[in-house]
Amino acid sequence: MKKKISPAWLLRGTFLVLTVVLGVFLAVRAVGNAAARANREGGYAPGVYTASASGFGGVVDVTVTIGDKGGITDVTAVGPDETPDVGGAAIPTLVSQILQRQSADVDVVSGATYTSNAVREAAAAALAQASGETGAARPTPEGDNLFIPGTYVGVSKGFGGDVEVTVTVSENAIESIAIGGEHETENIGTFAVEMLGERILSAQSPKVDVLTGATVTSNAILRALNDALTQAGADLKRFPDATDSGEAVNRVAVNMDADIVIIGAGGAGMTAAIDATQAGKSVILLEKMPYAGGNTTKATGGMNAAETHYQAEQGIEDSVEQFVEDTMKGGHDLNNRDLVTVMAQNSAAAIDWLDSIGAPLPKVSFSGGATNKRIHAPEDGSGVGAYLVTAFRRNLDELGVTVLYDTCATDILTENGAVSGVKAQSKTQDVTITTRAVILATGGFGNNEDMIVRYRPDLKGTVTTSAPGITGDGIVMAQAIGADLVDIEQIQLHPTVEQATSMLITESVRGDGAILVNQEGKRFTNELLTRDVVSAAELEQTGSYAYIIFDQRLREGLKATEKYISTGITVQGDTIEDLAAQLDIDPATLAQTLADWNGYVAAQEDPDFGRTTGMEADLSQAPYYAIKIAPGIHHTMGGVKIDTQARVIDTQGNPIPGLFAAGEVTGGVHGGNRIGGNAVADIVVFGKVAAQSAIAYLAQ
């Protein structure tokens, strides 16, 4: 069969060739360096220089040609993996700016920050070569060895800041890799980062596939690794290519069995897997991504629970009944009250259970839609999702649960109407697992545009905050064996999502005092109304977007803002007028809006939109910040119909024997609007209910 060469590899090939050409050039240049310097009129040594940097979707290569007089005479930039309409479209502008200014210090193209920064970084590196600042000869290992033994550190720019890779090598092996990058972990979880490290170690090569859903971070890690390995004297050409060539492999049929098969290693699936294993059942957990966590990783707030020992210890009065009422009200009374009652009644026990597995959530506070302080969060202020996923993974490891990563469940098998097995596929294996009980925990369908449009045509083209694996597979598999769906068209929009990166700007920014303005520089809503109402108001504005505006005081008080700033999605101005000018808003109007708002804060009254919360401090400390945002799909509240025992119900109203479901794959708990803190309550409570029901079913 003819081997296919992908455009990315062609590019890399070109890059390698250029690197070799450059090497020869540098060697020749070293001899006649003085002469070459004398030739420079524009400041650079004539020649062709190439460098690359990580963009939004992949590597961006920039080639700079320096003419005889030492000026930049030609620039090309190639970024095949950049979003065509965004980063791709920005490249010609950046290239012409570099030529015009004869410098890599060009303006970021608005809305294409990643690509812009990559072009700037790569152009600067190429020009550094042209200035003779780089090009030091690579140290040479002894004999035919791959490395000079030692520990080396490489650094590269990732999603939210610098990624640092520390690699220890012996003469011919990569012995260990440590990957640091505080900002990255918040987005995809430390385990994803660890897994790329494992992939590199087992391949003994930096030429491995990037992690799906974590391209920018993966590329940054690989670039930092290449940097470290080059310092160790490695010739990168000598490493084996361990990337997936896309060619057909000989598939292997694998048969397994388990008491319970759980599909999806997000919060609900991992809870169920731990609970069932603790009860002595054999469990296989299937996860289609190379890492666990799903949307759960992204949960930042906490877990709602009522009548917990933490509330009692902190003197907080609350009740299960109030929790039920708040949830029903928040969900516009569309919720299934029985399911909500199960969630509320079992929430305190779920908190105790989290204590028992080493994942306490002791910090209790208020959150939107709750009458009492009810949301439980980690002590250290870390995001609840990443915290729980890390704890769940540790428990799965300790319990020795079989987790098959990169393995996508495709079918639930039945015999005489009862569950009899699961079929799944990995890159190389067709797996058939015989089992009597299956727990679906595949999450929602926020990342499946076809499904979104099928149920909500009005949301076509809306960005999503969902993780890449959240494509509604569980709903499709359950429907194929007769399951009923409930509230499937109920999809929650989050009003503050940056559109180029799908990064969610947490509600706390508005809670701490930020306002929303439209392109005309005016407020248009009470910013702290429910997510659906604020989203709808944004969609009515010019261009269906808005800007979230905050100041230096707010930045200093809210850690989350640092990520927005380091990611490059924030526009900063020394004065409000300066900020307005950068946003193409009339400066006088925006200044008036801010002045009015600060007056309302002083008077503690918002005559325009009746806002009453998030008014503790005004917006008056320069510099000022803005992020362009619009609504994004956040949570699919409908899904598979379950009863209070987490049994999946068919279209005739009967439980499907052996099929259980928990978490975002199900419908009914959240009704028409999920309140913050209830997603985590849902996954932990119903993950445990599903496990216990499956165990009871097996005993029948």
**Residues lying near ligand ADP in the complex (CB under 6 A):** 263-269, 286-289, 293-296, 408-409, 441-443, 467, 469-470, 473, 663-665, 683
Could you give the CA distance from residue 205 to residue 404 in angstroms, rounded to a whole number?
23
The least CB distance from residue 203 to ligand ADP, in Å, is 23
Could you give the CA distance from residue 347 to residue 350 in angstroms, rounded to a whole number?
5
Q: Which is nearer to ligand ADP, 454 or 559 (CB)?
A: 454
Q: Which helix (H) or strand (E) holds 351?
A: helix 337-356
The least CB distance from residue 689 to ligand ADP, in Å, is 13
Q: Which is nearer to ligand ADP, 174 or 439 (CB)?
A: 439
Neighbouring CB atoms inside 10 A of 434's CB total 13
Cα dist. 486→274, 489, 630, 637 in Å?
A: 28, 8, 28, 9
Q: Which is nearer to ligand ADP, 471 or 541 (CB)?
A: 471
Could you give the CA distance from residue 95 to residue 120 in angstroms, rounded to a whole number?
9
In the complex, which residue's CB is closest to ligand ADP?
A: 266
The least CB distance from residue 667 to ligand ADP, in Å, is 12
Helices (H) and strands (E) in the chain, counts: 21, 27
Could you give the CA distance from residue 93 to residue 99 in angstroms, rounded to a whole number?
10
Tell the burial category of 546 from Cβ atoms under 10 Å away from its Cβ (0-12, 13-18, 19+).
buried
Q: Which is nearer to ligand ADP, 46 or 264 (CB)?
A: 264
Q: Which is nearer to ligand ADP, 230 or 425 (CB)?
A: 425
Q: What DSSP assignment string belongs to 521-580?
A: S---S-TTS-HHHHHHHHHTSGGG-EEEEEEHHHHHH-THHHHHHHHT--EEESSHHHHH
**Contact at 8 Å (CB) between 95 and 109?**
no
Q: What HEC string does 585-648 produce?
A: CCHHHHHHHHHHHHHHHHHCCCCCCCCCCCCCCCCCCCCEEEEEEEEEEEEECCEEEECCCCEE
The least CB distance from residue 89 to ligand ADP, in Å, is 31
Q: Which is nearer to ligand ADP, 477 or 569 (CB)?
A: 477
Q: Which is nearer to ligand ADP, 233 or 269 (CB)?
A: 269
The least CB distance from residue 313 to ligand ADP, in Å, is 28
Q: Which is nearer to ligand ADP, 541 or 636 (CB)?
A: 636
Q: Which helix (H) or strand (E) holds 434?
A: strand 429-434
The least CB distance from residue 683 to ligand ADP, in Å, is 5
The least CB distance from residue 269 to ligand ADP, in Å, is 6
Q: What is the DSSP letter of 84?
A: I
Q: Which is nearer to ligand ADP, 425 or 552 (CB)?
A: 425
As beta bridge partners, residue 409 has 424
Q: Which is nearer to ligand ADP, 233 or 474 (CB)?
A: 474
Could you give the CA distance from residue 80 to residue 70 in angstroms, rounded to a whole number?
29
Cα–Cα nearest to 218, from 268, 272, 256, 181: 181
Burial 492-526 (b: 16+ CB within 10 A, else e): bbbbbbbbbbebbbbbbbbbbbbbbbbbebbbbbb
The least CB distance from residue 258 to ligand ADP, in Å, is 14
Cα–Cα nearest to 554, from 584, 594, 514: 514
Q: Which is nearer to ligand ADP, 555 or 670 (CB)?
A: 670
Paired sense of beta strands 624-636 and 546-551, if any = antiparallel
Q: What are phi and psi of 657, to 5 degrees?
A: -55, 125
As beta bridge partners, residue 285 has 262, 403
Q: What DSSP assignment string belongs to 658-669?
A: EEEE-GGGEESS
- The radius of gyration of the chain's CA atoms, rounded to the nearest angstrom, is 27
- The residues assigned a catalytic role are 531
As beta bridge partners, residue 464 has 633
**Contact at 8 Å (CB) between 408 and 425?**
yes
Could you give the CA distance from residue 440 to residue 285 in angstroms, rounded to a whole number?
10
The least CB distance from residue 467 to ligand ADP, in Å, is 6
Token pair 């992690």 in the structure block, residue: 211
Could you give the CA distance from residue 588 to residue 80 in angstroms, rounded to a whole number?
41
Burial 573-610 (b: 16+ CB within 10 A, else e): beebbbbbeebebbbeebbebbebbeebbeeeebeeee
Q: Which is nearer to ligand ADP, 206 or 383 (CB)?
A: 383
Q: Copy the structure tokens of residue 21.
A: 């050409």
Q: Copy the structure tokens of residue 466.
A: 């969902």
Q: Which is nearer to ligand ADP, 115 or 442 (CB)?
A: 442
